[in-house]
Structure 1
Amino acid sequence: IWRDRRVYDASLQTLKNVIGETPDLPGRLFLIGHNPGLESLLLELCPSAPVMDNGKLFTTANLARIELSGRWDELSEGSGKLLELVRPGDLD
């Protein structure tokens, strides 16, 4: 487990830098942070992510699972596939 203080309230570019600096193995990354950076990151990686009626993608405490095509240091627009988006209101 790595802890990187740059993630808290980070901009899109800072999040991309943190991800790009992370070793590719073991192949999974669990990134916890705040908006607006995380929402911007998801929208860049997965432009077809389902935006709600209010124009927002995230509410408080969301979980997004993304599959990336390519290396983490090669993030680009549309390089992610949204596998799952869980919002608190969706839970029973």
Structure 2
Amino acid sequence: MKTLLLLRHAKSSWADPARADHDRELNRRGENAAPAMGRFLRDKGLVPNLIWCSTAARTVQTLGLLGRDFANQADVIYSEDLYMANEKTLLECLHQTHDEAESVMMIGHNPGFEDFAAELFGDGDGEALLEMNRKFPTCGLCHFEFDIDHWADVAPDTGRLVRFVKVKDLQAASAAVN
């Protein structure tokens, strides 16, 4: 059994229109969202063994703000190929993952992540799929499981969608508790 976590980067800033897209950093909302998602992942026992991360500033910052567990416990592969990648490129990267990694996170961008998640869906939480198809917001997370031993066996329509999580929902749940 393999676990795949697809995390779209947190909200980025458009304050400097002259800045290259690859170099855009997170805005304040993004800086608050990433740690909230990190806490959720830790609470659910979803700290991955390996992380694929786009080289864009906003994805690298998102990873850094998830928390220490993610830097210390997971190997990280920074790949320029993930920057604005389509679903074919994302699948090719995933196929290169070593099989010792039982849980993998990919941190990247839309529209590629949204398209990739929709392509992977084979069964699972249909309501989460509908929610994801409505909008895959910044710092949104898809949690898939695959009944395979080798990452190279991941194919379209083979993933079981466990959950789709939005930071907005995590924050609303936290506010309701407090």
Q: Could you say which TM-score interval applies, normalised by the shorter chain? A: 0.7 to 0.9
How far residue 51 of structure 1 moved from its aligned partner, in angstroms, is: 2.4
- Residue of structure 1 equivalent to 2:121: 46
- 1:72 and 1:57 map into 2 onto residues whose CA distance is 27
How far residue 88 of structure 1 moved from its aligned partner, in angstroms, is: 2.1
- 2:113 and 2:169 map into 1 onto residues whose CA distance is 19
The reply to whether residue 20 of structure 1 matches residue 99 of structure 2 is: no
Q: Structure 2: where are the runs of 5+ without partners?
A: 1-75, 172-178
- Residue of structure 2 equivalent to 1:60: 138
Cα deviation, 1:19-60, whole Å, max 9, x if unaligned, reads 0011111211110000111111110111545224xx534112
Q: Structure 1: where are the runs of 5+ without partners?
A: none
Identity of aligned residues (%): 29
Structure richer in helix, relative to its length: 2
- Residue of structure 2 equivalent to 1:8: 83
Which is greater in Rg?
Answer: 2
- 2:144 and 2:135 map into 1 onto residues whose CA distance is 14
Letter in 1 for 2:169: D
Structure richer in strand, relative to its length: 2
The reply to whether residue 74 of structure 1 matches residue 153 of structure 2 is: yes
4+ long deviations beyond 3 Å: none
Aligned length: 90
TM-score, normalising length from structure 1? 0.84
Tell me the C-alpha RMSD between the 2 structures: 1.7
